[in-house]
């Protein structure tokens, strides 16, 4: 992939909703029927829960799609936006209460 193509993809990520894949996505997480196309390395780097799930001896480590229960799609999207640097979403007073869902 060339630099120009990568820049276009990164610019698109600023407005993406994770509903479609981009070249670096390698797993789909399904929350309330909504598909979130994401990158294992990003999730593993930022979350010890996802690191254990995706790189440990769990069945999810070899899955291409994983259904996440007990999670709201809206909250999960905010969580993902806080992980991806080009999404320009920071943790703030409006979203910090539900961004801790994975630590429960």
List, in order, residues 6 or more apart from 98 with CB less than 8 Å away. 72, 75, 78, 79
| CATH superfamily of the 3-103 domain | Potassium Channel Kv1.1; Chain A (3.30.710.10)
**CB burial class (10 A; 0-12, 13-18, 19+) of residue 90?**
exposed
pTM over 0.75, yes/no? no
pLDDT tens string 51-68: 999 999 999 999 999 999
What pLDDT does 77 receive? 87
Q: Taking all residues of the chain, what is their mean pLDDT, rounded to a whole number? A: 76
Separation between Cα atoms, residue 62 and residue 75, nearest integer Å: 25
Residues of the chain whose pLDDT is less than 70?
1-17, 21-23, 85-104
């Amino acid at each position: 992939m060339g630099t120009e193509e990568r820049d276009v993809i990164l610019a698109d990520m600023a407005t993406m909703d994770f509903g479609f894949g981009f070249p670096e996505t390698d797993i789909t997480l399904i929350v309330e029927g909504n598909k979130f196309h994401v990158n294992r390395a990003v999730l593993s780097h930022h979350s010890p829960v996802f690191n254990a799930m995706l790189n440990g001896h769990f069945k999810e480590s070899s899955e291409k799609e994983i259904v996440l229960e007990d999670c709201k799609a809206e909250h999960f999207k905010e969580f993902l936006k806080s992980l991806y640097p080009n999404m320009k979403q920071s943790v703030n007073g409006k979203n910090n209460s539900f961004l801790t869902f994975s630590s429960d």
